[in-house]
Amino acid sequence: MTVTRHRLAFAAAAAIVVGADQLTKHLALNGLDDAPIDLPGSFRLVLTFNDSAAFSMGGGRTSWIAALALCVAIGLSVVGLRSNRRPTAIGWGVIVGGAAGNLVDRALRDGNGVLGGRVVDFIDPGFWPVFNVADAALWVGIGLLLLATFREERRQAALEAGS
């Protein structure tokens, strides 16, 4: 039963991230096609399309990047589905959801060849490359995994100290 609940947590986290990512990309495509929107500070919303990996590395290799991302997402899904703690399963689910959100773009958006679509980016902080919800989810998921690991280590240390 516990493993089933953790699998559900993993799947729910991934699905929520993909849904939020695709919804915000849809809104960006429909609301930012005319001009960027300036926000407080250096932040703005601006529609861009990315055919490379993080920080514009590997431009023009969209299909290769997508194939690698797909393999990584499958591997991380196996790890996430085997998680024996719910917070860890959620962290892996958020990361896989982020990877899957960008893979949806690679698979369904106009581009060159199989998985050759460009990823929609629209969040421009002004001091960092333009990104999207899926990109942010990758970092949030890593943070959740670190937090879950830290909490588990503290719990184990407390148990050992009490023995």
- 16 burial (CB, 10 Å; 0-12 / 13-18 / 19+) is middle
Q: What is the pLDDT of residue 5?
A: 76
Tell me the pLDDT tens digit for each residue of 66-89: 888 899 999 999 999 999 899 999
Beta bridge pairs of residue 126: none
Q: To the nearest whole number, what is the mean pLDDT of the chain?
A: 89
Angle at 139 between CA 86 and CA 33, to 5 degrees: 120
| Higher-scoring residue by pLDDT: 163, 130 | 130
**Residue 97 CB-half CA count within 13 A:** 28
Total-model pTM = 0.88
The residues annotated with a catalytic role in the active site are: 121, 135
Tell me the per-residue pLDDT of 53-66, one tens digit each, with 9 for 90 and over: 765 566 667 778 88
Q: Is 84 helix (H, G, I), strand (E, B) or coil?
A: coil
The stretches of 82-132 forming alpha helices (DSSP H) are 86-108
Give domain limits for the chain: 2-156
pLDDT digits (tens, 9 = 90+) for 108-161: 887 776 777 889 999 999 999 999 999 999 999 999 999 999 998 888 888 888
> Whole-angstrom Cα distance, residue 50 to residue 66?
12
Examine the pLDDT at 36 and tell me if it is beyond 80. yes
What average pLDDT score do residues 18-37 get? 95
